[in-house]
């Protein structure tokens, strides 16, 4: 895997990520949880505002975290979609990173910001106990 090891705050580029409706796009994800013996927990990032505010930081009621441009690795304003977390099996992650080459570790968010995102996730009304346990 290029770029380093998996830890909370890792920024992952997923080539041809497949959404639940079958569409595909190249997406950036942020790893929120990566406990040994458990699935990784990640959230998608988007640079599309889609009625979200530019208020930086935690917007738990609306289930997103806004990262202003130039902060925490992202060159553009980025909204991390906390309301629809993604579980990734470590074996699948490894296969996609090492064999398929569709996943690349491309950055690391500063620890304090990564922790703020994880804490924001815990406050989201859609955060399940099972997903919070993966943090």
Domains and CATH numbers, the chain: 10-132 (2.30.30.110)
The pLDDT, as a whole number, for residue 93 is 94
Q: What is the pLDDT of residues 62-119, one digit of tens each?
A: 999 999 998 888 899 999 999 999 999 999 999 999 999 999 999 999 999 999 999 9
> Within 13 A of 102's CA, how many CA atoms are on the CB side?
14
Average pLDDT over residues 15-23: 91
Residue 20 vs residue 10, higher pLDDT = 10
Q: What are phi and psi of 87, to 5 degrees?
A: -95, 135
Q: What is the pLDDT of residues 34-49, one digit of tens each?
A: 999 999 999 999 999 9
53 C-beta neighbours (distance < 10 Å), count: 11
pLDDT of 2 over the 50 cut: no
Mark out the alpha helices in 7-128 (DSSP H runs).
Answer: 90-98, 111-123
pTM of the model: 0.91
The pLDDT, as a whole number, for residue 40 is 97
State the Cα torsion 125-126-132-133 to the nearest 10°: 120
β-pair partners for 44: 29, 81
The pLDDT, as a whole number, for residue 65 is 97
The pLDDT, as a whole number, for residue 3 is 43
pLDDT of 4 over the 60 cut: no
């Amino acid at each position: 895997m290029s770029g380093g090891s998996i830890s909370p705050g890792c920024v992952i580029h997923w080539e041809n990520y497949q959404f639940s409706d079958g569409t595909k796009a190249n997406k950036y994800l942020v790893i929120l949880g990566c406990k040994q013996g458990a699935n990784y927990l990640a959230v998608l990032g988007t640079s599309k505002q889609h009625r979200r505010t530019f208020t930086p930081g935690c917007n738990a009621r609306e289930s997103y975290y806004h990262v202003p441009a130039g902060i925490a690795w992202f060159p553009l304003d980025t909204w991390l979609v906390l309301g629809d977390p993604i579980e990734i099996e470590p074996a699948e992650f490894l296969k996609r990173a090492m064999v398929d080459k569709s996943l690349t570790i491309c950055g690391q968010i500063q620890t304090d910001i990564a922790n703020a995102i994880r804490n924001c996730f815990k406050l989201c009304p859609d955060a399940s106990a099972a997903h919070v346990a993966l943090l």
